A and B are shown apart, each in its own frame.
Chain A
Amino acid sequence: MTLEGYFPNLLEAPYQLTSPASAHHNCIAWPARDQERWWWPDPMGQGYWPTGVPREQTLSAFEQAYGTLGFARCEDAELEPGFVKIALYARGLVPTHAARQLPQGRWTSKLGPLEDIEHDTLHALEGDWYGEVVLVLKRRVEQDESSMG
């Protein structure tokens, strides 16, 4: 199936493929800039999950996971100079995906084991597969990431 098959809103919103498919990391690892590990709180304890954070598929657990990197809940997904934001998608109250904001205001997403893309809007990935954005987190841009995407 094409990406547009999974995410029909991509048909109406510009996006670009930014790297090939990889099973080495996933959509939750990607906003954390971790390209070596598959982040997931599976009950069998096989995915990487930050120490001390409950291994459960809840908004609270995902918020705490990114909290270990300094991210905290914020009001909206608007671009704020000096801050990097992560938007968390969920179906109902079950987290499914996360996207990281780029310095120009676009978003970068790793689509599970598939490619990663840059997309103009968060709405582009909303729908049956990922649900909708339910939570936005932010932290100050660190010096070493101010020049990164």
Chain B
Amino acid sequence: MRPEYQQIIGMGRDAVPLILEELQKEPDHWFWALAATTGEDPVPPEHKGKLSEMTKAWLEWGERHGYVQSDDA
């Protein structure tokens, strides 16, 4: 596991808004860290591994849980 991943996961839930903000700026494969720190998995099986779809699923999850401000807000 990449060291930055270990550091992020070590932060626990505190890392979630930071990761989601990063995802909004530049989608990348932070999904394992999100799943590890939240214990959640909002990505449907047919979207596993697909960067755009996974980013969308996690950002929508972030909105529902108050981590990400909705575009409508």
Let me know if A5 is at the binding interface, CB within 8 A. no
Contact check: which of B35, B36, B48 meets A48 at CB < 8 Å?
A: B48
Known contacts A23-B28, A38-B29: A45-B51 contact under CB 8 Å: no
The residue on A at minimum CB distance from B1 is A42
Let me know if A70 is at the binding interface, CB within 8 A. no
The residues of B that contact A48 with a CB separation of less than 8 Å are: 48-50
Task: Give a binary string over B14-40; 1 marks a CB under 8 Å from any A CB, 0 the rest.
Answer: 000000000000011101101110000
Complex contact B35–A45 (CB within 8 A): yes
Let me know if A47 is at the binding interface, CB within 8 A. yes
Would you call the interface of chain A mostly helix, strand, loop, or mixed?
loop
* A41-71 CB contacts (< 8 Å) to partner B: 42, 44-49
Number of residues from B at the complex interface, CB < 8 A: 16
Complex contact B28–A37 (CB within 8 A): no
Complex contact A42–B32 (CB within 8 A): yes
**Interface size for chain A: under 10, 10 to 19, 20 to 34, or 35 or more residues?**
10 to 19
A60 to chain B, nearest CB (A): 21
Please report the C-alpha to C-alpha distance between residue A40 and residue B32 in the assembled complex, in whole angstroms. Answer: 11
Complex contact B35–A47 (CB within 8 A): no
Task: Give a binary string over A25-47; 1 marks a CB under 8 Å from any B CB, 0 the rest.
Answer: 00001000000111110101111
Let me know if B59 is at the binding interface, CB within 8 A. no
The residues of B that contact A23 with a CB separation of less than 8 Å are: 27-29, 51
B51 to chain A, nearest CB (A): 5
Let me know if B68 is at the binding interface, CB within 8 A. no
Let me know if B41 is at the binding interface, CB within 8 A. yes
Contact check: which of A38, A44, A113 meets B49 at CB < 8 Å?
A: A38
The residues of A that contact B51 with a CB separation of less than 8 Å are: 23-24, 38
Let me know if B8 is at the binding interface, CB within 8 A. no
Give 6 pairs: A residue, B residue, CB < 8 Å, sorted on A.
A37-B49, A38-B50, A44-B35, A45-B41, A45-B48, A47-B32
Q: Which chain A residues have a beta carbon within 8 Å of chain B's beta carbons?
A: 23-24, 29, 36-40, 42, 44-49, 113
- 4 more contacts with CB within 8 A, not counting A45-B41, A46-B43, A47-B48, are A44-B31, A45-B35, A46-B31, A46-B49
